[in-house]
Structure 1
Amino acid sequence: MDNMTELLGPDGPLARQVAGFAPRPQQQDMAAAVAAILNDSGTLIVEAGTGTGKTFAYLIPALLAGARVIISTGTRHLQDQLYYQDLPVVRQALKVPVKAALLKGRSNYLCRYRLQATEQEGRLPSLDQVAELRRIHAWAGRSQRGDITEIPDVPESSLIWPRVTSTVDNCLGQDCPQFDDCFLVKARREALAADVLVINHHLFCADLALKETAGFAELLPKAEAFILDEAHQLPEIASHFFGQSLSGRQLSELVRDTVVEQLREAADFVDLRRRAEALESAIPALRQGLGAADHRALWQEIAAQSAVVEAVSQLTEVLDRLREALKEAAQRGKGLENCHRRGEDLAQRLLTLTGPNSNPDQVRWFETRGRGFTLSLTPLDIAPVFQKQMTARPGAWIFTSATLAVGQGFEHFAARLGLQDYAALRLDSPFDFARNTLLYHPPELPDPGVSHYTAALLEAVLPVLEASRGRAFLLFTSYRALREAAAVLADRLAYPLLVQGDRPKTALLHQFRSLGNAVLLGTASFWEGVDVRGEALSCVIIDRLPFASPGDPVVQARIESLRQRGEDPFRCYQLPHAVITLKQGAGRLIRDVSDRGVLVLGDPRLLSKFYGRVFLDSLPPMPRTRKLERVQAFFALE
C-alpha cells in the first residue's frame, strides 16, 4: 500500500503479469489516492479519463487493504468483466489470498420454486417459451451458480425468465421449501464470507433503500470500504430506489401467482381464482385510460380525467376483493400467504401513487409503453437520504468515473449525492488526443429547434461518412430524430446501416465490429457503456447537445423545485447534466492508445451560446475545425 508507483511501474507485478502493460502516471496517481483513502477513511471523487486504467488503479489498493471492500459497477456486464477478468489478473499478480465473490440482484438467479411451479402449471403462451423452459430445466440440474447469463440459448429478454426467477415481491424467503438449495442464498453466503464483493449499482441502491427484505433483510454484508465505479449513474439509480412504483406487470404477476398457488394449495377455493381473473381484466382499463400512445407525464395532468378516475376506482375495488379472498386463503400455504402480503403492499402503493399528495419534495408521474404502464413516485432530492446512509456506514468511500466533472469541478455530482468534505482528483486521459483526433463543427447548420434541423445535419455529415468510409456512430437525443435519419440514410448511404431497435444491442455491436465499415444509429443506450476499439469505429457524430427534455415529468418537477428555492435550474442542474452526458457520448470515439477518429458535434449552440464554452472545456484537448477539407485530409492519412 506504500508505493503504488512501484506496483504499477515498469518492473512491478502487473507489468510481469499483463502482456503489453504500459505504466501510466495517471493510473499511479489514482491508485495512490485510493490507497490513502482506504487507509485513512473519508470520501474521494476521481474522474479518470479514458485509458487511465482506473479498474487496476482501485483494485490493487482494494486487494491490499486488509479490509472488506464492496465494489459496485454500473451494469451487470461490467460487473461480470470485473469479477471474471480484471480481478483474477490483479489477484494473481499480487499473489494475495483474497477471497472474492460476485453478487447480483435476485432476478438474475434461477428460482427453483418458481421453476417447479411454472412446470406444474403447464400453461405457457407460446411454443418458444415451452422449448425455453425445457432448456432451463436441463441447465438447472447442472448449474452451480444459477446465474441466468450462463445459458446462451435462452435470451435475457425472454418472457420466460420472470416466470422462473423471483422478485422482492414474490420471493418466499426462509419459508420457501427450496430455501436450502436456493442459488441466491448460496450467492449471499459467499458474499458474507468474501473480502472483496463485486455488485452493481441497482443492488447497492436497493440495499441502501432497504428494498431487499422478504426473509433476507439487508442483502449486503457490512464493509469498511465502498468503491463505486461508473458513479455518474448513481444519482438517477438511487432516485428510483428511494421512491416507489407500481406497474401493470406487477399486478399481472400477482394474478398469475395467485392462480398457480390456488391450484397448488387451495384447489377448492374457486372464488379466489375468479377474483384474480377480475383483477386481470381491470389492468388494461387503466392502461387505456392513460392514453393510447407511449407517454411520460406528471400524474396530476391526467388524475382528474373521468376515464382515469373510473379505471383507478375499478382497479382499487377488484384489488380489494382479491385481498379479502387472499386474507382468507393465506393460512392454506406459504405461497398464498406471500400473495396476500403482496396484495396488501400493491394496494398501499396504488393509494400512494394515485391518492391525495401534498409532499412538494416528491413528484408523481406515469409512463406508458406498449400495453404496459408504470406509476412512479420519485424524490426530487436524494442528497439527504443518501448522505444519511453513508453516515450509517462509516469508512472509505470512493466514487469514480470517466465523466464526473463539469469543467474542472465536481460540485454538481457532489451536490446530487450530498457529498461533503471530500478529496477530489481529476486525471486527464493519457491518450494523445491532439495527434489522433479532430473535432468538427459543420458550418451553417440551423437552430436545433427548427423542424428541418435533422435533415440539414444529415446533409452536412454525409460527406464525413464518405470520408470515414462508414465506421461511424450517429448518436441522437431522441428516437424521432433517429427514425428520421434511418429513413433518409437507407437510400443514400453506401455502407451497411445498423439501427437501434432492429436487433438486440449486443447483436448490433457484434455486427458493427465484424462488418468493419458500418454506420450505427443509436440513442441513449449507446451513449455510454459501449466499447469498440480499433478502426471499426473512427467517427462519432452527435446531433444535439443532450439537454434532458423539459417535458420529462421528473426533470420538469426538479426545475420547478429549484426555481422555488431561488436557484437557477439551468446553471445548477440542466447544464451540468448535459455536459456529463456529452462527455459520455464523445468518450465512445477513442478507446485505445492507437485509435484515431473524428468527433462531429452538430449543434451550433456550442459556438453561439455562452454555455458552449462549458461543454468544450469539459472535452479532451482535440484540435477543432469547421472545414470539411480538414476532415477529409485526416481520414486520407490512414
Structure 2
Amino acid sequence: MSVPDVPELLDHAVAALGGTRRDGQVTMATAVASAIEDAEHLAVQAGTGTGKSLAYLVPSIRHAVESNETVVVSTATIALQRQLTERDLPRLASALAEPIGREPKFAILKGRANYLCLNKVHTGVADEPDTELFDAFELSRTGREVTRLREWTSDTETGDRDDLPQGVSDRSWRQVSVTSRECLGANACPYSEDCFAEIARRKAGASDVIVTNHAMLAIDAMSPATILPEHKVVVIDEAHELVDRITSVTTEEISAAGVTLVARRLGKLVSDETADALVGAGEQLGILLEESQNGEWTRLPNGAGEILASLRDRLWNARSEIGPAKPGTDPEAAAARQMAMSATDSLHDTVVRTLTVFGEADITKRFDVVWKAVDDFRNNTRHTLRIAPLSVAGLLRTSLFTDSTVILTSATLTLGGNFDALARTWGLPPHGDVNDDGASGNGWRGLDAGSPFDFPKAAILYVADRLPPPGRDGIAAATLDQMVEMMTAAGGRTLGLFSSMRAAKEASEKLRERVDFPILCQGDDATSTLIRRFADDEATCLFGTLSLWQGVDVPGPSLQLVMIDRIPFPRPDDPLLSARQRDVDARGGNGFLTVSANHAALLLAQGAGRLLRSTADRGVVAVLDPRLATARYGGYLMAGLPPFWKTRDKGAVVAALRRLTAG
C-alpha cells in the first residue's frame, strides 16, 4: 500500500492523540519532509508549543517505512530522550500503524558505559579507588551500591542505568560497566549473547527510528568502527547544545591521579621497573601542575615538555610490555588486561595530542586549546591539564553533514535575527534570513516555524536602563530594591536567573530578609526537587544559575516573573572561549561578537523562554542589566529574544504584575 503524504499523516496522528491542528507544526513537518526528499540540511526554530517532536517524527517515520532506512534522532538531555521513547514514540507508533500499514519500530541507543557489563559483574574486575578521593564512608557506600547493582543484574531486562530504580554514584556504576575501549568485544566475551549493550544495538539495527544523544553522534563521527546502525537521515533536537556536547566528548585531561590509576590497572601485567618508572613520571607531573599557573597554556612552562615526553615514553613502554592476550586466557584476566590497555592507550594518546599542540609555534595554526584547571573534591584539590578542540565545525562538516541529511531544531536557533551564528559553529556556511523558503544554494536552509504564543500580549520585556551596571562587588543596593519591588508585586512567583552561583546565593540571603514568601536557592536540595517545590507553591521563588536557564518548564501561575541579573557573557577567564575569541580576532573577525555575544544571546533567549510555557501564561521578563539598552551590542542580543512588548518603565511593569496577581 502507498504511504499517505506527511500532512495527511500528521492530521491523522494529531486527531488520534487528541490534539489540535497547529499551523507552525504543519509548516515544520512539511519542511522536514522536503529536506529529507531533497537531501538538503534544514535548521528549524520552533518555539515552545509548536509541537516540534511530532513535526519531525512523522516525516521521519514516513521516510523510514517507505525507504526501509533507519532515521537517527539525537537529543542533548535525558529528559527529552525519555519523553520521546516513553511517551511520544509509543503513542505515535500506535496512531500511525493503520495509515502506514504496520506499527513503526523504535529503540533507544546509548554509549556502552550506560549498560551493565555482565563480564565485569561476574568476574569481579573492579576499578581501583582514587587515592585522592579515598574516604571510608564513600568506600562503604560504594560497596553497598555495587552489591545492589549486582543483585539488580538478575532483575533488569535492559541493564540501562537510567532504568535503575534508585540511582547510584558514578564511582559505583564504573564498577559494573565498561567503556567501548575497555570492552572485550563480542568475539572474545563469554557473555556476548546476553550483553545488554549488544542487545540494545541489535534492537536499534532493526528499528525505524533510533533515539540517541549528541555524545553518541560525536563518538560515531570520530570512531573508525560503526557505532550507530547505517543511516542517511539525522534529526538533531536541542541543536543549540550540539557544539557544547561534541566539545565535551572531545575534551581530554591529564593528572597525577590519572597516571596513578593507570599504574594500578597495569598491576602485574608489567615489570616492577616499568610500573615504578610510570609512577615516578606521574609524581613529576603532579609537581609540575601544582607549581604552574592556572588557565590557558599558550606555551609549555619550563620543564613541562621534558616531563610530558617522559610520561609519553613510559606509557608506551608499559603498553608494549602488556602485549596481546594469550589463547585460553580466563575472562577475568582478559577483562583486566583490556581495561589496563584501554587506560594506557587513552592517556598516552592524550599526552601525544598535548605535545602536538606545542609542536606548532604559531598559535593561530593550532587546532586544540590546553589549560590547567583546579578542581576541589571533598576538600582535596586536584590539578588537571585539559585539552579541547578550538572548534568542532570541521569534525561536524566532514562527518555528520557529509554523510547524512541533517535536520537541526530547537526553540532557540536564531541569534541576531538569523541562523548564521550557529551555522558557523556547526560547520555550515552562513547565508541567510530566518524565513528562507527557497533553496539556499549552500546545501541548507533555515526556517522559523513560529510560535502559538501572542508574545506582545502575553509578556513584557523590561530592561532596567537606570540601574548601575553590574560589577564585581556584589549586587547593587538599587538592583536589590527593584527585585524586592517586582517580586512583591508578583506575589512571589519568581524565577531568578543569575550569572553565577555566588550572585544567586547573595540575592537569596539578602532578599529572604526583605520579602514574606519562600526563596529557594539552587544547591539547597536536588535541582529537580527544588523545581517541583517551586511549581507546587505559587508564592515560592526559585533562584539559581546555569541549569535553570534551560531546565525549567513550569506553566501556569507559579511563574509570572523571570528576573535576569546580568547579560550572561562567558567568564573572561574561560580558557576555551577566550581562545576561540582570540582565534576569530586573528582571522580578521569580531571575536567578541562571534563568541562572547553569541554565547550570551543564546543563554538570554533560553532564559527568557522559561516564562511562557503554555498559551495561557502571562508575565514579565526583567533584565536588570542596563547594558542591554545602552551598549552597542544590545540590539544584537535583543534580536534573538521573543517579540515581547518592550518597556523601560518600571512603574508600568510593577502595575502589570499587580494586576496579574490580583487576577
Bin of the TM-score, shorter chain as denominator length: 0.7 to 0.9
Match of 1:115 in 2: 121
**TM-score of the two chains, using structure 2 as the length reference:** 0.84
Counterpart residue number, 2:480: 458
User: Which of these residues, 426, 429, 433, is aligned with residue 417 of structure 1?
Assistant: 426
Alignment partner for residue 44 of structure 1, among 11, 32, 42? 42
Asked if the contact 2:120–2:126 (Cα under 8 Å) also holds between the matched residues in 1, the reply is: no
Cα distance in structure 2, aligned partners of 1:284 and 1:239:
29
- Residue 540 of structure 1, CA deviation: 1.3
Rounded Cα–Cα distance in structure 1 between residues aligned with 2:553 and 2:114: 24
Provide the residue aligned with 2:343 in structure 1: 342
Which residue of the other structure, out of 405, 409, 419, is the alignment partner of 1:400?
409
Counterparts of 2:490 and 2:30 in 1: how far apart (Å)?
Answer: 40
Return closer, same or farther for 1:316/1:37 CA change in 2, 3 Å cut-off: closer
* Alignment check: 8 A CA contact 2:81 2:211 kept: yes
| Selected match of 1:382 from 370, 388, 392 | 392
Give the match for residue 352 of structure 2. 351
Judge conservation of contact 1:209–1:242 (CA < 8 Å) in 2: no
TM-superposed CA distance for 1:115, in Å, is 2.6
Aligned to 2:59: 61
Other-structure match for 2:501: 479
Identity %: 33
Instruction: State which of 17, 28, 31 in structure 1 corresponds to 2:29.
Output: 31
1:84 aligns with 2:93: no
> Which residue of the partner structure matches residue 638 of structure 2?
616
The amino acid of 1:162's aligned partner reads: R
Partner residue, 1:128:
141
Local SS of the residue matching 1:51: coil
Q: What is the identity, as a one-letter code, of the residue corresponding to 2:370? A: R
Q: Does the C-alpha gap of structure 1 residues 382 and 119 become closer, same or farther in structure 2, counting only changes over 3 Å?
A: closer
Q: 1:72 maps to what in 2?
A: 74
Which amino acid is the alignment partner of residue 224 of structure 1? K
Distance in 1 separating the partners of 2:366 and 2:589: 16
Q: Which residue of 2 aligns with 1:105?
A: 111
What corresponds to 2:242 in structure 1? 234
Picking from 147, 154, 158, the partner of 2:167 is 154
Number of residue pairs the alignment of both structures matches: 615
Cα shift at 1:243: 5.5
The aligned residue for residue 585 of structure 2 is: 563
The one-letter amino acid of 2:47's match is: G
Match of 2:431 in 1: none
Secondary structure class of the residue paired with 2:354: helix
Do the aligned residues in 2 keep the contact of 1:406 with 1:576 (CA within 8 Å)?
yes
Query: What pairs up with 1:182-193 in 2 under 5 angstroms?
Result: 182-193=195-206
| 2:387 alignment partner, SS class | strand
Distance 1:100 1:160 in 2: 30
1:159 aligned counterpart, secondary structure: helix
Q: What is the CA RMSD across the aligned residues, in angstroms?
A: 3.1
AA of the residue aligned to 1:390? L
Contact 2:120–2:335 at 8 Å: present in 1 too?
no
Task: Point out the more displaced range, 329-338 or 504-513.
Answer: 329-338
Identify the range of structure 1 (73-82 vs 542-551) with the bigger mean alpha-carbon deviation. Answer: 542-551
The answer to whether residue 440 in structure 2 is matched with residue 440 in structure 1 is no
Is the contact between residue 70 and residue 225 of structure 1 (CA under 8 Å) also seen in structure 2?
yes
1:164 to 176, 181, 191: 176
The answer to whether residue 365 in structure 2 is matched with residue 367 in structure 1 is no
> Structure 1 residue 512 and structure 2 residue 509: aligned?
no
Deviation at 1:404, TM superposition (A): 0.8
Contact 1:113 1:178 in 2 (8 A): yes
Give me the whole-angstrom Cα distance separating, in 2, the residues matched to 1:563 and 1:52: 38
CA contact (8 A) 1:534 1:592 kept: yes
> 2:128 and 2:604 mapped to 1: Cα distance?
49
SS for the counterpart of 2:558 is coil
Give the whole-Å Cα distance in 2 for the aligned partners of 1:245 and 1:120.
22
How many angstroms apart in 2 are the aligned matches of 1:329 and 1:304?
40
Per the TM alignment, residue 599 of structure 1 is displaced from its structure 2 partner at its CA by 0.7
Distance of aligned partners of 1:542 and 1:288 in 2 relative to their CA distance in 1, 3 Å threshold: farther
Stretch of structure 1 that moved more, 616-625 or 490-499: 490-499
Secondary structure, aligned partner of 1:527: helix
2-side partners of 1:535 and 1:287: how far apart? Answer: 53
Q: Could you tell me whether the CA contact under 8 Å between 2:517 and 2:541 is conserved in 1?
A: yes
* Partner Cα separation in structure 1 for residue 71 and residue 324 of structure 2: 46
Q: Deviations over 1:530-569 (max 9, x none)?
A: 3222222222111111222332111121122112211121
Paired residue type of 1:104:
K
Post-superposition CA distance 1:457-508 (Å, at most 9, x none): 3232122122222222211222332333233234334332322233332232
Residue aligned with 1:610, SS: coil
2:436 corresponds to? none
CA contact (8 A) 1:383 1:415 kept: yes
Q: Which runs of 5+ in 1 are unaligned?
A: none
1:297-334: per-residue Cα shift (whole Å, max 9, x none)?
A: 21237x4156x679757866875675466459988642
**SS across alignment from 2:620:** strand
Residue by residue over 1:71-91, the C-alpha shift from the partner in whole angstroms, topping out at 9 and shown as x without a partner, is: 101112211211111111211
Tell me: CA distance 1:471–1:393, structure 2 relative to 1, closer, same or farther (3 Å): same
Q: Distance in 2 between matches of 1:328 and 1:105?
A: 26
Alignment CA distance shift 1:281-1:543 (3 Å): farther
